[in-house]
Amino acid sequence: MLLQLRQMTRTPIWRQPRHLALIFFVFILVAFALTHNSYRKLTPHHRVKPATVENTSLIPRNIWQIFLPPIIPEAVYDIDPEALVDTPSWLAKNPDYTYILVGSEGGDQFVNEYFAHDQNILQTYNRIRNPGLKSDLLRYLILSVKGGTYTDIDTLAIKPIDEWVPKHIRHLVRLIVGLEFDRLDGLQWADIPHDLQFCQWTIAAAPGHPVFTSMANWAVNSINKLVKTYNGTLETLKPSSFEVMTSTGPAAWTDVVFQHLQQAEPELTALTNLSGMTEPRLYGDILVMPIDAFGMGQDHSHSTNDGSIPDAALLKHNFRGSWRDH
């Protein structure tokens, strides 16, 4: 027995089974303490954050503008540089964005390439001559396919597009629309049939949003109804500015957008449910902006119009559109 005891005492402790579990447990505690203390010494800036889809915008970094002169056979039009005086603001505020100015030829090529499968859209677009109708329809078709930010050439950028949507909801937003008109307790406004209306001088969207399919179909059907009303043809159609507004313009856009808002939020029963809003509101994947975001500087709708630029302002519309002249 003595011999056996001496032999046992010479055996290293780490080889003795009864101590092995204890040694392993102590090793784990020491490793955890060292790792935990090291992590605690890191500042929040240096800590590795878990992967997340937040902060990732679904809206492509494209800026689209359209210039469509009236279509007159054999006439040649040069774009007056003064018409693009506000464009540099978009380039300066969004240096990493792709900017595309679409003219008559580019618009024709785009529609012929991407909508050859839809003869109703294709023939309507190719045959209409009114630049207001044509420009309206083209912006919906471009955003439907490519996405990005469309804005009229008479808008001035105030804040970078990357700052339009709060970071924590960027991964949810697929369409951004802004108020143009809110009657509130005031009077109705000329050429605006609604108590509240969305503008379409600026729209931002992810490609493939269903609102553009609805809007394109609405526009094409409305244009063809006008042709029947005047007993004419697409080529000879000369609508009034109000007819443009209600067939392809902001009044029609408002009707279609509101239908999609109601799908996301059935409790919205009327456009006036959005009246008086002062902060962006998210309905499904549609972010609705208050009046000052896209519509500052107007003398209605409680738009800021004292010469200052409110914090909510993202752009300013200068209302130099020439489509009414044609």
What letter represents residue 239's amino acid? P
What is the sign of the dihedral through the CA atoms of 18, 21, 22 and 23? positive
Confidence band of 9 (pLDDT split at 50, 70, 90)? very low
* Residue whose pair of structure tokens reads 């009229």 in the numeric block: 152
Give yes or no: residues 18 and 73 share one domain: no
Q: Are residues 16 and 152 in the same domain?
A: no
How many alpha carbons lie under 13 Å from residue 303 in its C-beta half-sphere?
25
Lowest mean pLDDT: which of 117-131, 137-151, 184-198? 184-198
Task: Please return the burial class of 89, using the count of CB atoms within 10 Å of its CB with bins 0-12, 13-18 and 19+.
Answer: middle
Task: List pLDDT tens digits, range 96-143.
Answer: 999 999 999 999 999 999 999 999 999 999 999 999 999 999 999 999
- Whether 56 is in a domain gets the answer no
d(CA 290, CA 44): 35
Q: Which two tokens stand for residue 228?
A: 């029947």
- Domain with 33, as residue range(s), is 2-41
Q: Are 301 and 156 in a shared domain?
A: yes
Q: Output 152 or 44, whichever has higher pLDDT.
A: 152
pTM for the model stands at 0.82
Identify whether 48 is part of a domain: no
Same domain flag for 36 and 69: no
187 neighbors 200 (Cβ within 8 angstroms)? no
Residue 5 is predicted with a pLDDT of 30
Q: Is residue 278 part of a domain?
A: yes
Quote the mean pLDDT of the chain: 85
Q: Which residue has the higher pLDDT, 97 or 13?
A: 97
In the chain, what percentage of residues exceed pLDDT 70?
79
- Mean pLDDT on 76-85: 84
11 band by pLDDT with thresholds 50, 70 and 90: very low
Q: Does 210 fall in a domain? A: yes
Token pair in block for residue 128: 């209409």
Calpha distance 310→307 (Å, rounded): 9
79 with 216, same domain? yes
Mean pLDDT, rounded, for 182-209: 94
Q: Evaluate whether 262 touches 271 at the Cβ level (below 8 Å).
A: no
Residue 151 above 60 pLDDT? yes
89 falls within a domain: yes
Q: How many domains does the chain have?
A: 2
pLDDT digits (tens, 9 = 90+) for 16-70: 545 444 444 444 444 444 434 432 332 333 333 333 456 799 999 999 999 998 7
For 217-251, write each residue's pLDDT tens digit.
999 999 999 999 999 999 999 999 999 999 999 99
Spatial neighbors of 219 by CB under 8 A, at least 6 apart, are: 133, 136, 137, 140, 247, 248, 252
**Shared domain check, 174 and 296:** yes
